[in-house]
Amino acid sequence: MLALWRDRRVRDILSQVGVGLILVGLTVWFVLNASANLRQAGIASGFDFLGRTSGIEVAFVLTDYTARSSIYDLLVVGVVNTIVVSLLSIVAATLLGFLIGLARLSRHWLIATVAGVYVEIVRNIPLLVFVFFMYGGVLAALPGPRDSFIFFGISALNNRGFTIPVPVDGALMRLALLAVTLSIAAHVVLALVSKKRRDATGQGLPMGVIGAVLLVLFPLGALSFATLMSTWDIPQLRGFNFRGGFVLVPEFVALFLALVTYTAGFIAEIVRGGIASVPKGQLEAARALGLSPMTTLRLVTVPLALRVIVPPMTSQYLNVLKNSSFGAAIAYPEVVSLFMGSALVATGQAVEIIAITLAIYLAIGLAVSAFMNWYNARVALVTR
């Protein structure tokens, strides 16, 4: 027995087994203790409550949920709202952060200074302040419906939200989005084929032309066709408010603007650091080949910087997902506000609701991490 214990592998295995047993024991103790407390409080444990009628009105719904729907449907509303605001914020913050990061490296003193001041201000103010500022300071100061800001005669922005037109029948738009998705997937497949062919023969496919067709021309054509052929519900001012269309409620707009403004400051520093890490020899080689500054940025600087940028960007994207829970402070109906707020008060199933909420954030976060790890492996300088 003593000889086995001297074996390092045996000690490692026994140590891991011991830690695993401790964790299992703590989990069992927690579950039993929670079940006993629930029984004493007269609260039935389990997940049957998900099938009960919700009875909760929600101001911002992207599904077919009504107050007569189940609590499970309420959970779906919260998940969808969380994913939508997080995804849109990630895309917008990435674009804004890249622009600000490039501006920080500009040779123009005023542009670089303004970008630097923006980054320093954003990174030293709590996100909750931005959320309250956007909601109570920016959107609340907008005019009422009668004095709305009208965009192209079809959209209106006022203190009750941003009203946009929607198709009466979304079948064509769904088909167009499906076609765009397939087009993007085809581009990814062809890019992989081109890489393998280039590695084997030294000559790949004309991905510039293929990308212009599959990522620009075809999506624009499909969406334009669906837009022109669909019948649209245009919002109209009737009485004291707009009727028709779809309203992006102030809570959504405020949370979106706060997440984009806040996250862009951190992404800008990541981009600046990534670009600054590109070896000067690579830039000098690009200039020696006669490449223009924009071509050098597109073909040399950004591809090399991505190897440094992508890993910390994963953390920022996960932060956007988690920070979307700040919507509860302004009553935006996301997972925390709807499920851990309204549903918990209505049912009292605290343990189950908290467990489901944690599982949802964990699942979405792991999906984001998996995608970013895959992309990081694609752009890594050294492959295994």
Taking 70 as the threshold, does the pLDDT of residue 6 lie above it? no
- As given in the structure block, the two tokens for residue 250 are 């102030």
pLDDT mean over 51-79 = 86
pLDDT band of 2, cuts 50, 70, 90: low
Name the more confident of 282 and 181.
Answer: 181
Question: CA-based Rg of the chain, rounded to a whole angstrom?
Answer: 26
pLDDT given at position 384: 43
pLDDT tier at 39, thresholds 50, 70, 90: low
Domain boundaries, the chain: 51-147+249-379
Give the model confidence (pLDDT) of 355-373 as tens digits.
889 889 999 999 999 888 8
Range with the largest mean pLDDT of 12-21, 138-147, 333-342: 333-342
Q: How far apart are CA 138 and CA 142, in angstroms?
A: 7
Whole-angstrom CA distances from 301 to 81, 289, 291, 298 are: 36, 14, 12, 6
Q: Convert the pLDDT of each residue in 274-302 to its tens digit.
A: 888 888 888 778 778 777 777 777 778 77
Q: 374 versus 383: which is more confidently predicted?
A: 374
- What's the pLDDT at 174? 85
Note the pLDDT of residue 383.
46
Give the mean model confidence (pLDDT) for residues 94-122.
90
Task: List all residues 6 or more positions away from 343 whose beta carbon is below 8 Å from its beta carbon.
Answer: 54, 56, 71, 74, 75, 353
The per-residue pLDDT for 38 is: 63
**Which residue reads 């000690």 in tokens?**
11
Which of 8-17, 92-101, 303-312, 318-327 has the weakest average pLDDT? 8-17
* Class of domain 51-147+249-379 (CATH, top level): mainly alpha
Torsion of CA 279, 283, 285, 286, to 10 degrees: 140
- Winning range, highest mean pLDDT, from 32-46, 162-176, 246-260: 246-260
Q: Which residue has the higher pLDDT, 135 or 2?
A: 135
User: Which pLDDT does position 83 carry in this prediction?
Assistant: 93
DSSP, res 288: H
Stretch 294-313: mean pLDDT, rounded? 81
Q: How many CB atoms lie within 10 A of CB 27?
A: 10
Asked whether residue 30 carries a pLDDT value surpassing 80, the answer given is no
Over residues 141-149, the mean pLDDT reads 82
pLDDT computed for residue 89 by the predictor: 94
What is the residue-wise DSSP string for 17-77?
A: HHHHHHHHHHHHHHHHHHHHHHHHTT---SSGGGGSB-----SS-SSS--TTSBHHHHHHH
CA 200 to chain CA centroid, Å, is 37
